[in-house]
Amino acid sequence: MIDTQAVKKVKAKYINMNLAGPYPPDWGVREAVREEIRWLQDELATPCEVIFVGNMDAVTMGVAEIKQGRRDVFINDKLLEPGKRTARIMTLCHEIAHISSEQGDATLDFEDTLGDMLGKMAEKAMGR
Ligand SMILES: [Zn+2]
């Protein structure tokens, strides 16, 4: 399991809100975020459920959990606010790297996975 303490904290304190649910209220924002998630999941070949969490503390932006066949990424819903797109995508990549590597922060496997993702996306952005 990954980031065990953070997952427990999130589950204990907060209400989970899936993108399929009522949040965020603006359809345009919701569809744009869905598109980002689809793109990243395809690009990184790492399927997972992404759940935006309301009222998460100001420090925790995301948490990944692999448990009982589920691969869940919890994202602080503050990252849905205008101007937070880069931070949101960065956090999604970070948490997806946890799912893909099945390792926690500051481990070699996690850092390698994150670096590999960065390299592949930079390569794609360069068009070759
Ligand atoms: Zn992490």
- CA angle 22-24-27, nearest 5°? 90
**Domain 4-125: which CATH class?**
alpha beta
pTM: 0.79
Local confidence band at 94 (pLDDT 50, 70, 90 cut-offs): very high
- CA angle 7-114-112, nearest 5°? 110
Local confidence band at 118 (pLDDT 50, 70, 90 cut-offs): very high
Q: What is the pLDDT of residue 112?
A: 97
Non-local (6+) Cβ contacts of 16 within 8 A are 51, 53, 74
Q: For 37-49, what is the HEC assignment? A: HHHHHHHCCCCCE
Local confidence band at 18 (pLDDT 50, 70, 90 cut-offs): very low
Ligand 1 centroid to 18 CA: how many Å? Answer: 21
Ligand 1 centroid to 29 CA: how many Å? Answer: 25
Residue 16 has pLDDT above 60, yes or no: no
Ligand 1 centroid to 127 CA: how many Å? Answer: 29
